[in-house]
Structure 1
């Protein structure tokens, strides 16, 4: 039986249950066990009114109230922590064994931190009980507290900076490009023309990429691509999204009035790696959203997507060769600013990133917090 060990609980070293017998009793809150290694103790106070605070993507603080009676006997806290979602979706933990934490009794609140059992933006249930370690090494325990729910947070800017550094390491040399493009089915562009005042409108970003990215399910924008084929310097003719393509000159979306942000870095169990960038006109709603949440990039000097000027003053645009860029533009785009035409290539649906799940085992694009 595997019992995950918390990386950090305040300054106290987290311990796992001493014996498998102890685990059997600890694993099932609200039930009694015939196991002789655990002894219910009437004078041990039961945690009440549990409070969760200071929640990050991989840590939280927990505290509770309890009666004074028997408090002096407490040596340890048992904490039952489980993902609220279907356990079958958690391939890294046996579906029948919850995560149990055994911590020395310390002043409350105490911090629970551990990147390999806490994931960003994930709902958990938690319960607690107090315990007294006996001379023979076994425990007397209180009844379990009520079960409460909480949700971990998005990546902080510190975590995104770590992800940015990993993406920078593989970006590769820069290649010139001149247009942004968006591939879709014909019906998409017909609707934009007929029902949306000839405009493509921002939509909320899906859940693709890193689970902790602050833009998923929150940022509104329009996805564009800018990658080119190495041998032609032109956009590829194949697409996973549709046989019609809108093209727009790069300087219309990306210029000296456009701020650029790093949003995510991920792969989908393949050798291809994706970088999500956000282009937001200065002062726009999208720009306000990104400030303080995402790492800002220098528009003329970064390893992914640059806008600079040639000696004669004309704009020059370059994109990274060794990653696939997904560019989110945060404002509506009028179709009259570009052209729509049918492409000749194939629809490679296997390359779609719609709601794509990140490979949590990839050493290239994962950082030291939950995936």
Structure 2
């Protein structure tokens, strides 16, 4: 038990350093009023949910994408959503697919929810044709749970719980939600419950990059001083 305790303590200390890096990078940023989480996938993904899964979008095990020391990698099931706006509105394209579903924050982020900081990372540079893409986008990963759930118990032990009203990434104050507005930073939310797709509209969007997720995830770029913790 002592060895396990030290391991969890080391894990949490590492996360604290990582969150400090995120806060330093996002220092003096503003916030946007937001109302929905949104998730893009190829249209075939939603067709499969409708035809083979009784219209239920089920959580899946977190990949090894992002920081290799992220405690939820391979441990917690969830659905990844984005919340970040672009110029005050939802983006018109996505690297994850051509079809979008939106879920009202009021439906999933109520007074019984808990919010945790899990990761801060960027991905390796990529090439677009013969052009090397130099703009580095950073991601903050949050986990949204129902209080008392199995996922919540794991996150309470391994992650950093955020104050719902005062954190800089995603806040809830009565009926108003706000999310970070920092150039080049996207806030992604892993929601740990299933979503019933019945009655939800699907919206066609453009795509960017490869237009779909990379199986297994993309590991963090270790050469970035912004999001790597020196030890």
**Is the 2:16–2:160 contact (alpha carbons within 8 Å) kept by the matching residues of 1?**
yes
Per-residue CA deviation, residues 261-318 of structure 1 (Å, 9 max, x unaligned), is 0000011135211110000011112111101100000111101111112xxxxx1111
Q: TM-score, normalised by structure 1?
A: 0.54
Q: TM-score, normalised by structure 2?
A: 0.85
Correspondent of 1:273 among 138, 149, 161: 138
**Is the 2:115–2:164 contact (alpha carbons within 8 Å) kept by the matching residues of 1?**
yes
Structure 1 alignment gaps of length 5 or more: 1-52, 58-151, 310-314
SS state at 1:194 partner: helix
SS state at 1:159 partner: helix
4+ runs of 1 displaced by more than 6 Å? none
- Structure 1 partner of 2:176: 316
Q: How far apart are 1:153 and its partner, in Å? A: 8.7
- Structure 1 partner of 2:164: 299
Q: 1:275 to 1:177 in 2, by over 3 A?
A: same
Q: How far apart are 1:348 and its partner, in Å? A: 2.6
Q: 1:209 to 1:367 in 2, by over 3 A?
A: same
After the TM superposition, which residues 114-263 of structure 1 pair with which residues of structure 2 at under 5 Å, given as runs?
A: 156-171=11-26, 172-230=29-87, 233-263=88-118
**Is the 1:248–1:339 contact (alpha carbons within 8 Å) kept by the matching residues of 2?**
no
**Is the 2:42–2:212 contact (alpha carbons within 8 Å) kept by the matching residues of 1?**
no
Higher relative contact order (CA 8 A, sep 6+): 2
- Structure 1 partner of 2:150: 285
Larger Rg: 1
Structure 2 alignment gaps of length 5 or more: 125-134
**Is the 2:97–2:211 contact (alpha carbons within 8 Å) kept by the matching residues of 1?**
no
Per-residue CA deviation, residues 138-194 of structure 1 (Å, 9 max, x unaligned), is xxxxxxxxxxxxxx9996111101111111122321111111111011111122122
Structure (1/2) with the larger helix percentage: 2
- Structure 2 partner of 1:137: none
